[in-house]
Chain A
Amino acid sequence: MVKEIEKTGIPVVHVCTVTPISITVGANRIVPAIAIPYPFGNPAKTSQEEKQIRRKLVETALNALTTPVTEQTIFEVK
């Protein structure tokens, strides 16, 4: 899916837990997520903390979209 969208020229950031698959399928901007059943969350935390985690992930993803890349790049959440 990543490639089909990116072919049109629209930049894509792939946020996913299993980054090796993302590398294999050819995503260029990759952000590692939390876990498979909750990529943007953590049910063990309070809902406020959880939203903060999610916000950080989304911000990392947006940052990836503004960053020029020439090869497959993983953007870790800071």
Chain B
Amino acid sequence: MSATKKLRVVHYINQFYAGIGGEEKADHKPEIREGVVGPGVALKAVFGNDAEITHTVICGDGYFNENLETAKKELISMIKGANPDLFVAGPAFNAGRYGVACGTICDLVQKELGIATVSGMYRENPGVDMYKKDVYIIETNNSAVDMKNAAPKMAKLGLKLARKEEIGASIEEGYLPGMSRINFFDYARGSKRAVDMLLKKLAGQPFVTEYPMPDFDRVEPGKPIKDMKKATIALVTSGGIVPKGNPDHIESSSASKYGEYDIKGVNDLTEKTHETAHGGYDPLYANQDSDRVLPVDVLRDLEKEGKIGKLHNLFYTTTGNGTSIKNSREFAAEFAQKLVAAKVDAVILTST
């Protein structure tokens, strides 16, 4: 796409910003108008010659949230018909239902139409928590007075997204954190930033952490094994145990793949047969005897003694070192299906 081509933009606003009315008109049904309506004027000014708001889509907040599935269908078809390069929603500032609508419709436009989207909200808007991981949301103040600050940021980020240009860190572009962690060069070195942050914290002044702590989700514990003597047990490890020579070249850190290896007939892992590909701990001990990480010898003994039904003949391995949680999750999701298909009853997962 050449930089000189004027991009087509569709703008989404609610009944209030369209000047139709307040709460009493919240049941306003979706409609599409040509050109700019309401706050679109501010966006038009900053888009200049780069982009043109060809259409404005309007929907009442009440209608949207109460008739979600119908509203989504109606809006998507209107937006698709306008054939935009970029979809802009809001800003919704601190209006809750409007924020949720902006987030929902942006997410939908991205997924169903593959079109770049941008919205704007106050950080406490409920739409933020729902969509900050899926939609670029420019951080605004809590009232419409902030339009003059929000419009240039939304326009700038929107153009970048539509042109598939590189997106900067949230703090540089002004969007709310949640999308992805992006590196950038900050105002001062880290130690100075730490001292500055500590001074604020000591003085009881507000400070912004550079990395907000995440919430971890949980899963239901699997049901216990009733009869271990009949159970098939599989071994999985993040300790990087691989056949000698690391045939699949599993990376020492930030693994991009997992290994699946056959241990049929193998009663003991030795210095000659197996080693570790893991780069995060001293590999000496695991290289001498990989049973120290993957206890194949003991499980074979227990199998012979009839204490377990069977040791599964394949084991799964990756290096936990620096490997992103997303990657490990994808690996595990894939081999978990193989374990299910192989009728494995339980898994011993070993980590270093």
The answer to A–B direct touch (Cβ < 8 A) is yes
Known: A1-B238, A1-B329, A8-B340. A40 touches B293 (CB 8 A): yes
Number of A residues, CB within 8 Å of B: 51
Structural contact, B217 and A26, CB atoms closer than 8 A: yes
Give B211-237 as 1s and 0s: 1 = Cβ < 8 Å from A's Cβ atoms: 000001111111111101001010010
* A28-B219 CB under 8 A given contacts A7-B336, A17-B351: yes
Q: Are A41 and B332 in contact (CB under 8 A)?
A: no
Q: Is the CB of B228 within 8 A of A51?
A: no
Contact B225 A65 (CB under 8 A): yes
B116, chain A: closest CB distance, angstroms: 31
**Residues on A with beta carbons closer than 8 Å to the beta carbon of B292:** 37-41, 43, 50, 54
Chain A interface secondary structure, helix, strand, loop or mixed? mixed
A residues in contact with B347, CB < 8 Å: 5, 10-13
Q: Considering the chains assembled together, what is the distance between the CA atoms of A73 and B286 in angstroms?
A: 27
* Contact present for A65 and B239 (CB under 8 Å): no
B-contact bits for A1-28, CB 8 A (1 contact / 0 none)? 1111111111111111110011011111
CB contact list, B299-352 vs A, under 8 A: 299, 301-302, 307-308, 318, 325, 328-329, 331-333, 336-337, 339-340, 344-352
Whether B218 lies near A26 (C-beta < 8 A) is: yes
Closest A residue to B258 using CB positions = A1
B297 at the interface (CB under 8 A from A): yes
User: Chain B residues with Cβ under 8 A from A47's Cβ?
Assistant: 289
Interface band, chain B:
35 or more
* Complex alpha-carbon distance, A69 and B223, angstroms: 8
Write out the residue numbers on chain B whose beta carbons fall within 8 Å of the beta carbon of A46.
Answer: none
When C-beta atoms are compared, the residue in chain A nearest to B331 turns out to be A1
- Partner of A68 from the list B224, B295, B325, B339 (CB cut-off 8 Å) is B224
- B107 interface contact, C-beta 8 A: no
Determine how close the nearest CB of chain A comes to the CB of B27; give it in whole angstroms: 41
Distance in angstroms between the alpha carbons of A42 and B283 in the assembled complex: 14
Inter-chain contact total with CB atoms closer than 8 Å: 172
Provide the bound-state CA to CA distance between A65 and B217, in Å: 22
What 0/1 readout, one digit per residue, does chain B (282-294) give for beta carbons within 8 Å of chain A? 1111101101111
Complex alpha-carbon distance, A51 and B268, angstroms: 11
Find out whether the CB atom of B222 lies under 8 angstroms from the CB atom of A15: no
Q: How far is the CA of A47 from the CA of B238 in the complex (A)?
A: 24
Q: Is the CB of B352 within 8 A of A4?
A: no
Select which of B222, B231, B352 is within 8 A of A39 by beta carbon.
B352
| B-side contacts of A2, CB under 8 Å | 332, 349
Chain A residues with CB under 8 Å of B344's CB are: 10
Contacts of A57 in B (CB 8 A): 295
Q: Any chain A CB within 8 A of the CB of B281?
A: yes
Give the distance to chain B from A52, nearest Cβ to Cβ, in Å: 9
Do B351 and A39 touch (CB < 8 A)?
yes
B336 touches A62 (CB 8 A): no
Q: Nearest chain B CB to A9's CB is how many angstroms away?
A: 6
* Sample of 4 more A-B contacts, CB < 8 Å, known A3-B219, A5-B236, A43-B288: A8-B336, A40-B292, A65-B231, A66-B226
Binding site for A on B (CB under 8 A): 216-226, 228, 231, 233, 236, 238-239, 281-286, 288-289, 291-295, 297-299, 301-302, 307-308, 318, 325, 328-329, 331-333, 336-337, 339-340, 344-352
